Amino acid sequence: MIGAKLIRLQCYEGLDESKALYEWNYKKQLLRIQADRNSDAWNDIHDDIFGSEFLLTRPLLEAITSKEPVVLLIDEVDRVEVETEALLLEILSEYQVSIPELGTITATQIPLVFLTSNNTRELSEALKRRCLFLQVDYPHMDREKEIVLTKVPGVTEMLADQIARIVRSIRQIDLKKAPSVSETIDWARTLVLLGIGTINAEQAKETLHVLLKYQSDIAKAAKELSDD
């Protein structure tokens, strides 16, 4: 919408500075040292191998050093450890990075930053204080039906309507993990592949493992379908 470049940092457990911020190109540095192995001017070599030419930028550094407008998406930030969250906080507060060998790199422009969270753990108060919070809920039933019709080739309007209604009722149960929209789509694709045009309670129960990821949730949903 704003004509900006998208840079995405996918968060995961174990994400560290070298994957989020920067690291040195050790192989290229080694080749440079070997090329000058007969030279006595170590200081010249040292200064050379720690130049910007040998720096591998990762999403955070790339976002703040880009000369073009950037949208930085930090996806599933709740998956990283508290220490990595602190690193994100430092960079996104000051929009600058201190690299011991190069000094401080200041942002050439301030990126538009979006953080997403599935709420698997509580984020720090310091991080939340610097963000505007928007709760993105599940789509309403008619909207989810439209999504299924758009994303699943071969699905009938009747089946899409049934899927949206069943998923909505299942989400109202106390589950460990309610089905996401992507899992609704997976379920719809499965039913189409099985040649099901309209779904009955037995067929729904037999395919619940596509929609739900915990046996306790499957048992609860199967009971709800049987009661209905």
pLDDT in tens, 91-116: 888 888 888 877 888 888 899 999 99
- 108 C-beta neighbours (distance < 10 Å), count: 12
pLDDT in the model for residue 191: 95
pLDDT in the model for residue 126: 87
Range name among 31-45, 93-107, 201-215 with the lowest pLDDT average: 31-45
Is the model's pLDDT at 41 over the cut of 80? no
Q: What's the rounded mean pLDDT across residues 67-84? A: 91
Domain termination site, one of 75, 96, 129: 129
Please choose, from the candidates 112, 111, 102, 107, the residue with its C-alpha nearest in 3D space to the C-alpha of residue 23.
102
Is the model's pLDDT at 49 over the cut of 80? no
- 218 and 181, same structural domain? yes
- 115 and 12, same structural domain? yes
Please choose, from the candidates 11, 181, 168, the residue with its C-alpha nearest in 3D space to the C-alpha of residue 85.
11
**CB neighbour list of residue 150: distance below 8 Å, 6 or more residues apart:** none
Q: In the structure, what pLDDT confidence band is assigned to residue 31 with cuts at 50, 70 and 90?
A: confident
Domain assignment present for residue 51? The answer is no
pLDDT in the model for residue 99: 83
Is the model's pLDDT at 45 over the cut of 70? no
- 24 C-beta neighbours (distance < 10 Å), count: 15
Q: How far is CA 197 from CA 25, 148, 152, 163, 208, in A?
A: 55, 14, 13, 11, 17
**Residues of the chain above pLDDT 90, percent:** 51
Query: In terms of residue numbers, what domain contains 84?
Result: 5-21+58-129
Domain assignment present for residue 30? The answer is no
- 145 and 209, same structural domain? yes
Q: In the structure, what pLDDT confidence band is assigned to residue 53 with cuts at 50, 70 and 90?
A: confident
Is the model's pLDDT at 157 over the cut of 90? yes
Q: In the structure, what pLDDT confidence band is assigned to residue 225 with cuts at 50, 70 and 90?
A: confident
Is the model's pLDDT at 48 over the cut of 90? no
- 209 and 162, same structural domain? yes
- 68 and 120, same structural domain? yes
- 68 and 12, same structural domain? yes
pLDDT in the model for residue 228: 63
